[in-house]
């Protein structure tokens, strides 16, 4: 629990109601930039803010800055489809994503901020024999790793999610599904704001509208960063800049195994509650859930080429909508309200890089690709450990950048379900 004079509670709500809610204080400050910090985090998204938060909370680092080129929650943290799950195939992935899921379960209490985490379950649907085998393999792997997972046959799928079309006559019939009941969704903006508020209350300086333009290195040691608002010195710099990781890495002369691509999502007009779980399909690439406002939240795929434009192709959206309409014919008359893209940094093995580099004091947390949101607290937890101790936590040791030389890849491309 964060000790803060502005703790949110039912009493603070009532108290502020008497002053017509005009006296709420900002959730985080807008500080002056200091000349030097003990650690600088580049990127004020969910992963960057959790890193700063856990650096302060778990490792007692006092003097931290988070430098963000735009505004808090304006990047991929506010653009994803908010799905949280940990049913990954490989041991390394299951361990880190399940660690994150456990942190999600206590997050609202820990932050004193309601992130609206809802464990409504995530269902991964199988449409052919290969899917059935693949998903059953993952179901068993999950259970061996202590990750909850169940297998549902077609009738049980229909019972769990009545609006799904289980007719055997559709092009890709539903042949069963895995279900992780602990999985679900959360309000992504609240995650960014909650961690920003939490970090701020522990003395972290959150510096918005400040873009990094260079990294200063002296004799193989990092000494600070150049920004659009001047030089800031620090001996420890953690880069968590998602789609722009390669651009930042280039400033330090590092080449990363990343490709940045647009990933799109869209929401429909709001309707009454119709789907109370998350349905994902690997084969026909569709995933859908319903937000608390009543909008259907639909995730599309990535485009097949590199781009930083935050716009994707309409053909990708069309493919996803076709799949959704086949699985849920009752959605076919719904109107889509908003549609957007974010830039995701994809690793060749679809696993993240949370690693030291050959430059002392420079750390990278990137490559989360299409599935970083669910890992937000776990990612910050292990990255903070890596920065504070100058060595990886047991959970992120397999996700070192050196795995591309050693060949010890954590191949989650097909295994983790394509839709993250």
Segment interacting with another protein, rule: CB under 8 A, options 158-166, 305-313, 328-336, 375-383? 305-313
The token pair at 181 is: 């009941």
Among 173, 257, 294, 329, binds another protein (CB under 8 A): 257
The token pair at 78 is: 């506010």
Among 158, 181, 311, 339, binds another protein (CB under 8 A): 311
Kindly report the number of other CB atoms within 10 A of residue 62's CB atom: 12
Segment interacting with another protein, rule: CB under 8 A, options 112-120, 133-141, 241-249, 272-280? 241-249
Q: How far is the CB of 241 from another protein (least distance, A)?
A: 7
Looking at 293-359, list the stretches that DSSP marks H as alpha helix, in order from N- to C-terminal side. Answer: 314-327
Q: Under rule CB under 8 A, which residues in 58-77 are in contact with another protein?
A: 69-70, 74
Q: How far is the CB of 386 from another protein (least distance, A)?
A: 21
Q: Toward another protein, which CB reaches closer, 309 or 391?
A: 309
In whole angstroms, give the CA distance from residue 396 to residue 86: 15
In whole angstroms, give the CA distance from residue 141 to residue 91: 8
Residue 30 interacts with another protein (CB under 8 A): yes or no: no
Q: Give me the half-sphere count of Cα atoms (radius 13 Å) on the Cβ side of residue 250.
A: 6
Angle at 100 between CA 351 and CA 284, to 5 degrees: 50
Q: Under rule CB under 8 A, which residues in 348-367 are in contact with another protein?
A: 348
Closest CA to 39 of 276, 219, 204: 204
Residue 168 interacts with another protein (CB under 8 A): yes or no: no
Q: How far is the CB of 115 from another protein (least distance, A)?
A: 24
In whole angstroms, give the CA distance from residue 377 to residue 98: 11
Segment interacting with another protein, rule: CB under 8 A, options 177-185, 190-198, 243-251, 293-301? 243-251
Q: Toward another protein, which CB reaches closer, 128 or 213?
A: 213
Residues 6+ apart with CB under 8 A from 334: 268, 269, 271, 296
Binding mask 385-404 for another protein (x = CB under 8 A): -------------------x
In whole angstroms, give the CA distance from residue 374 to residue 306: 23
Contacting residues toward another protein, per CB under 8 A: 69-70, 74, 209, 211-213, 228, 241, 244, 246-248, 250-251, 255-260, 304-311, 313-315, 341, 345, 348, 404-407
């Amino acid at each position: 629990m964060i000790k803060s004079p502005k703790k949110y509670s039912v009493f603070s709500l009532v108290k502020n109601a008497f002053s017509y809610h005009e006296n709420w204080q900002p959730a985080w400050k807008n500080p002056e930039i200091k000349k030097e910090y003990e650690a600088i985090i580049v990127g004020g998204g969910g992963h960057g803010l959790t890193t700063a938060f856990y650096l302060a909370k778990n490792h007692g680092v006092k003097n931290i800055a988070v430098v963000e080129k735009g505004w808090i929650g304006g990047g991929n943290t506010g653009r994803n489809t908010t799905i949280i799950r940990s049913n990954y195939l490989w041991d390394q992935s299951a361990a880190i994503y399940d660690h994150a899921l456990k942190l999600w379960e206590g997050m609202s209490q820990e932050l004193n901020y309601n992130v609206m985490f809802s464990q409504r379950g995530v269902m991964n649907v199988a449409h052919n024999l290969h899917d059935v085998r693949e998903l059953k393999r993952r179901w068993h792997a999950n259970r061996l790793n202590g990750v909850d997972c169940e297998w549902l046959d077609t009738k049980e799928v229909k019972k769990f999610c009545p609006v799904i079309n289980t007719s055997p006559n559709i092009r890709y019939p539903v042949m069963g599904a895995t279900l992780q009941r602990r999985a679900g969704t959360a309000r992504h903006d609240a995650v960014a704001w909650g961690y920003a508020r939490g970090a701020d209350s522990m003395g972290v300086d959150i510096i918005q509208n400040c873009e990094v333009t260079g990294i200063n290195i002296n004799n193989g040691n990092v000494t600070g960063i150049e920004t659009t608002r001047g030089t800031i010195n620090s001996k420890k710099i953690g880069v968590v800049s998602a789609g722009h990781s390669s651009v930042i890495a280039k400033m330090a002369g590092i080449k990363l195994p990343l490709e940045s691509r647009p990933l799109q999502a869209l929401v429909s007009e709001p309707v009454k509650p119709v789907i109370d779980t998350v349905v994902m399909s690997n084969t026909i690439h569709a995933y859908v859930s319903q937000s608390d406002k009543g909008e259907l939240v639909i995730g599309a795929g990535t485009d097949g080429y590199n781009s930083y434009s935050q716009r994707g192709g309409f053909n990708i959206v069309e493919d996803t909508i076709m799949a959704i309409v086949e699985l849920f014919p009752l959605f076919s008359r719904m109107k889509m309200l908003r549609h957007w893209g974010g830039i995701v940094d994809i690793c060749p093995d679809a696993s993240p890089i949370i690693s030291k580099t050959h430059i002392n004091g420079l750390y990278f947390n990137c490559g989360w690709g299409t599935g970083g949101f669910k890992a937000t607290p776990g990612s910050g937890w292990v990255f903070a450990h890596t920065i504070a101790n100058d060595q990886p936590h047991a959970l992120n040791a397999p996700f070192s950048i050196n795995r591309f030389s050693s060949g010890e890849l954590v191949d989650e491309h097909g295994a983790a379900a394509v839709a993250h």
